[in-house]
Amino acid sequence: MSTTESKNLYGILAEFKNPKALVDASAKVVEAGYDKFDTYTPFPVHGIDKAMNLPKSKLGYIVFGHALLGFSGAIAMMYFMSVIDYQINISGKPFFNAPAWVPITFELTVLLSAFGAVFGMFFLNGLPKLSNPLFEVERFKKATDDGFFVCIEAKDSKFQADLVRQLFEEAGATHIEEVYEQ
């Protein structure tokens, strides 16, 4: 029994020669009905999200929610401190002095928006993910330099290794490789 037979198949990885070939292959993968796949490139490729039929990101809603939380939290905090908890009459100004609160309100809004963006991105991307079977594939190291890859995962409901291999061959893959979990 070889070492690859004792391991679980993670998916099939295909390499393409350029970004256009990758976009075309991604469209063919979607057309074939696969939904558990991803593309890997050394730089952003325009049109890949449309070819992969990706939904609009939820990150904007997360950032907006955190911005509202920062804004309302700043106003509530300063209102409580200045109007309810510790009233100090300074030069006859009103206790609810909104113009003086603008810098703190702005800063807390931006701060919580930034936290929402960073942690929302981590959450939506499933990070941190310290290990991936693709990292063990020698050719996959080209994904940071000049390689363009598509990987269809074995978890996909339509996955059949021979059909996936045939799809990649028809799409013009320059190299096709099975990837196994460690």
The pLDDT value given to residue 64: 98
* Residue range(s) defining the domain that contains residue 163: 9-55+129-180
pLDDT of residue 52: 97
Residues 82 and 118 in one domain: yes
Region 127-143 average pLDDT: 93
Mean pLDDT of 20-31: 97
* pLDDT per residue as tens digits for the range 89-112: 888 888 888 888 999 999 999 999
Share of the chain above pLDDT 90, in %: 84
Same domain for 86 and 170, yes or no, is: no
120 and 136 share one domain: no
Mean pLDDT over all residues of the chain? 93
Strands 9-16 and 175-180 come out as: antiparallel
Residue 113 in any domain: the answer is: yes
What is the end-to-end Cα distance of the chain in Å, rounded? 16
Q: How far apart are CA 95 and CA 110, in angstroms?
A: 25
Both 150 and 63 in one domain: the answer is no
Q: How far apart are the C-alpha atoms of 80 and 106, rounded to whole Å?
A: 18
Whole-angstrom Cα Rg for the chain: 25
In a domain, residue 69? The reply is yes
5 to each of 8, 151, 158, 165, 182, how far by Cα in Å? 8, 20, 21, 18, 12
